[in-house]
Structure formats: C-alpha cells, structure tokens
Structure 1
Amino acid sequence: APAHPVPKATSAPLIFPLSATSPEALRASAIRLADWVTARSAAGDLDLQDLAYTLARRRAHRTVRTAVLAGDADELLTALRA
C-alpha cells in the first residue's frame, strides 16, 4: 500500500496535459484518450488522479501542447471531444 493513500474523488479540477508533434496529431491523441477514458469508465476502472499524474509526469512533452481542466470523467470527455 502507498505510504499516503490517494483519495479516489477530487473536489478540485485536475490538469490533464496533452502534447504532440503537430496540431493534427494532438487532436488524434485527444480522441484516442477520450476513447480510452470512455472504456475505462464503463469498466469502472478509471482513476482520474492517476491519469492526470501519468500524463504530466510519465509522457513525453512534445512541442504542440494543451491542457484540459476537469473534475470528473464527463468534463474530461467533453473537453477532449470539443
């Protein structure tokens, strides 16, 4: 178990950074992420805090960047598909 358990629910929006090598690739990445979030949410296996951390710390940071602020899966999906 982690030394400091992380609560599953959040009261504040989280930052979900996205980056790619071109605007087109960024859009495609957002769509793929939305599909992944939909599938994980439907399976009951979505941890938004883990996802936000992974996108911020465990992914390469490309030159074309954006970020989404969301407090729940619905907000995240709406922003990713906008």
Structure 2
Amino acid sequence: MDGGTFTISNGGVFGSMFGTPIINPPQSAILGMHGIFDRPVAIGGKVEIRPMMYVALTYDHRLVDGREAVTFLRKIKSVVEDPRVLLLDM
C-alpha cells in the first residue's frame, strides 16, 4: 500500500461484526466495514428486525478534525442506506 493516504478494510467478508481498524502509517485514515447482519432496531416505537452493518473510521487527529470525520461517516451512512443519493447526487 505504498503512496496511499486512505484505506478501506472489509472485514465483513470474513464474518466480522465489529472492530476498530488500525491506521497503516503514513496513511491518514482507515474505514473498517463489517458484515451485514439482521438486528433488532426501534422503528417508530416498535422493535423490527433490519439488516445492519457497522462501520468504523480511525483517523490521525493531527490531520483530520472530528467534525469532518463525522460528516464523512454520515455521508457513507446515507449512501449505503440509499445508493440513489450517490448516483443521483440528491
């Protein structure tokens, strides 16, 4: 991974449910994506079973501010939940 600044790690292919990825220096961040599993969630005051996936972002705080990191994760969430957001630039 020479010359990279950002890595996406897909532990989901190995059945990972959750984990915290570790940055590979000199990169500035790594996004860990995990498996999609049915989980109980509260929807409109009721418990429903929905497919859910955890993602984790580890970043070098000397280079990336927390506000930008959270904004990035929220964008990832919206695109994964509804790909039309990305495809149609909604």
Q: TM-score, normalised by structure 2?
A: 0.28
Q: Which has the higher contact order (CA 8 A, sep 6+)?
A: 1
Q: TM-score, normalised by structure 1?
A: 0.30
Greater fraction of residues in helix: 1
Greater fraction of residues in strand: 2
